[in-house]
Amino acid sequence: MLVYLLRRIAQSIFVALAMMVIVFFGIYMVGNPVDILISPDATPAEIEATMERFGFDQPIWMQFLTFLGNALQGDLGRSFVHGEPAVQLILHYMPATLELAALGLFFSVLIGVPLGVYAGYKSDRWQGRAIMTGSIFGFSLPNFWVGMLLILIFAVELRWLPSTGRGDTVEVLGVRLSIFAEGGLQYMILPALTLALYKASLVTRLARAGTQEALVQDYVKFARAKGVSETRILFVHVLKNIMIPIVTVLGLELGSMIAFAVVTETVFAWPGMGKLLIDSILTLDRPVIVAYLMMTVLIFITINLIVDVIYTLLDPRVRISGAAS
């Protein structure tokens, strides 16, 4: 297990460094933020002074080496617009995105697993076919359209839930969160459901496929022969054995929820990292864009590593096959 863990950590470090190169050159070779940072009436001397102050007068490879040296010390630069360290700015907006993604993942599991298990159990009946047809809509409908539809129904017509904003927050272990604030959860329901729709459809299909495969196994036949109820067979014996692929996919999907919540945060005016990214792109705030992308990469890598470790604990064959290779 230790050898496997060390190998995965080494691979993660290599991926992080490779992505750092791609992200830096992909962002710093596009556009010229000086055109936005200073007045159009600025003199050539003022333009040159601004470029020198931000290091834009140096060759791109020299800028990368400076960035790399600072990044290894945890410094990804200072925001051109806000004048704060980019990492500190990202961390300020991160809790809003993380709690929204976590609630969205919870909704996707809460909706997808029971529907998928039931659809697998009733695969040859109209109930199973109806559930799978509904999952197609979950894959097909764009997030921004779903978000606007939910706002129209639940905020405008029924007036049950607020349409935009984050509401009140409370401090928990030094972090501002909405989910524990009075009335804060109601602000999260619509954007979390919007995030969860696609993931719930994915989980439904995974759970259905796993259930169909598990129902023909010998342990299910033995359980039925012993008189175990169908409910216990489905939600104890079957569910336990289909959780390995579901856990793997959910771990990866949590990372994608965090990274790609940009559209949902924009539709619901949710003050998270996605909204900060859009604002930074509009102003060519390179340090913030790079910091966002690098922290997203690190989140993906960390989640993948944790999922792999959990996978090996659930199925030791993965560890054995990895050691053999």
274-302: pLDDT as tens digits: 888 888 888 888 888 888 888 888 888 88
Using CB atoms within 10 A of its CB, is residue 212 exposed (0-12), middle (13-18) or buried (19+)?
Answer: middle
Q: Where are the domains of the chain?
A: 88-276
- With the C-alpha atoms ordered 104, 110, 114, 117, is the resulting torsion angle positive or negative? positive
> What does residue 175 show for φ and ψ, rounded to 5 degrees?
-120, 135
Q: Which two tokens stand for residue 217?
A: 């196994």
Q: Which two tokens stand for residue 288?
A: 């913030």
Angular region, 173: left φ>0, alpha ψ -120 to 50, beta rest: left
DSSP character string of 43-69:
-HHHHHHHHHHHTTTS-HHHHHHHHHH
**Are the CB atoms for 119 and 215 separated by under 8 Å?**
no
Q: Report pLDDT for 8.
A: 79
Residue percentage of the chain with pLDDT more than 70: 91
**Are the CB atoms for 87 and 295 separated by under 8 Å?**
yes
pTM score, whole prediction: 0.77
At 302-321, the pLDDT tens digits run 877 887 777 677 665 555 45
- Which helix (H) or strand (E) element contains residue 250? helix 239-259
User: Does 19 score more than 70 pLDDT?
Assistant: yes
> What does residue 67 show for φ and ψ, rounded to 5 degrees?
-60, -45
Give the whole-angstrom CA distance, residue 193 versus residue 215.
Answer: 31
Q: Which two tokens stand for residue 144?
A: 């921004």
Q: Which two tokens stand for residue 52?
A: 């020198």
Buried b (16+ CB within 10 A) or exposed e, 233-244: bbeebbbebbbe
Q: Which two tokens stand for residue 258?
A: 């965090």
Q: Report pLDDT for 318.
A: 52
Q: Which two tokens stand for residue 285?
A: 């705030």
At 212-266, the pLDDT tens digits run 888 888 888 888 888 888 888 887 788 888 887 787 777 777 777 887 788 888 8
Give the whole-angstrom CA distance, residue 36 versus residue 46.
Answer: 13
- Tell me: domain 88-276, CATH 1.10.3720.10, correct? yes
